[in-house]
Amino acid sequence: MSIFSGLENIVKENCPLAGFTWYGLGGNADFLICPQNTEQLKAVVLRCRENEVPLRVLGFGSNLLVSDEGVRGAVLKLDSDEFCNFEFSGNTLVAGAGVNLNKMVLDSVRKGLSGLEALTGIPGSVGGAVRMNAGGSFGDIGSSIQSITVMDKLGNIFEKEKPELVFDYRWVNITAPVILKATIELAESDPDAMLKTVKEVWIYKKNSQPLNTKNAGCIFKNPRGISAGALIDRAGLKGTQMGAAVVSEKHANFITTEKGCTSSDIQKLIELIQTKVRDTFDVELELELEIW
């Protein structure tokens, strides 16, 4: 009997993952599972636990590199209507894990609700943004979040609120495998002023990041008080190439790809960068990119 007997309509076996990532690289997952509702999600989580099947959650794949060998176990994608809705109630916004972050930011601005403008231009889902406390020079998502609803390994659903819910740089204290939704507190503001801020953030990113290339955002976290991109640049690595993976000339903390690139090319280039920065500055660069 199949591990996911009775759930065949939401399970794809040996499924290619490359098309679900911004890099467009990588091998297959043993199982790609797209639950249509919370009940199916719970059933999948329990089946994985009972059968000792590793479980991962795939957002928009904008900060992810899938290895050429693929992913053993099950990959969840929460892309059904139940997980992709968001609604406003006064100044409160409740957003499902599968919601498009950029769409949510722009809708908030149009409604005259401030708090998310700093996330302009950051691709991804709400769940992925929460998991890594997505943000940049202008702020992060954690500063506006009041609570997170999650599902644990036993299929139990519970809410974690501030101050128990703690955000830090590219980190949040959530250990549950599945984020279901986020409750966000916003503040009334002038829509025109917010649109101006959104445009300024977008122009800054357009001028400083290689947005028109295949990339997965920043590869490394910034060491405390230091820019990872500046360290890589000062180490003389801009333009360095490994196979068809290249350190961006525009922003050294981005790795772009050329035709024929493999995940292995990117991983080798990452290792080269880490070694050179360690040898030159005695600084260990920690990955912001997630590698499966």
Within the chain, all domains assigned CATH 3.90.78.10 are found at: 210-291
Query: What pLDDT sits at residue 212?
Result: 76
Q: Is the pTM of this model over 0.85?
A: yes
Q: 128-152, pLDDT tens digit by residue?
A: 999 999 988 778 999 999 999 999 9
Residue 73 three-state SS = strand
Query: What pLDDT sits at residue 206?
Result: 82
Fold topology of 84-196+200-206: 3.30.465
Within the chain, all domains assigned CATH 3.30.43.10 are found at: 8-81
Residue stretches of the chain with pLDDT short of 70: 1
Query: What pLDDT sits at residue 225?
Result: 87
Residue 205 CB neighbour total at 10 angstroms: 17
Within the chain, all domains assigned CATH 3.30.465.10 are found at: 84-196+200-206
Query: What pLDDT sits at residue 278?
Result: 98
- Distance in angstroms (rounded) separating the CA atoms of residues 44 and 40: 6
**Right CATH for 210-291 from 3.90.78.10, 3.30.300.340, 3.30.70.790, 3.30.70.20:** 3.90.78.10
Q: 212-237, pLDDT tens digit by residue?
A: 788 899 999 999 889 999 999 999 99
Q: Spell 229-243 as b/e; 16+ CB within 10 A means b.
A: bebbbebebbebebe
Fold topology of 8-81: 3.30.43
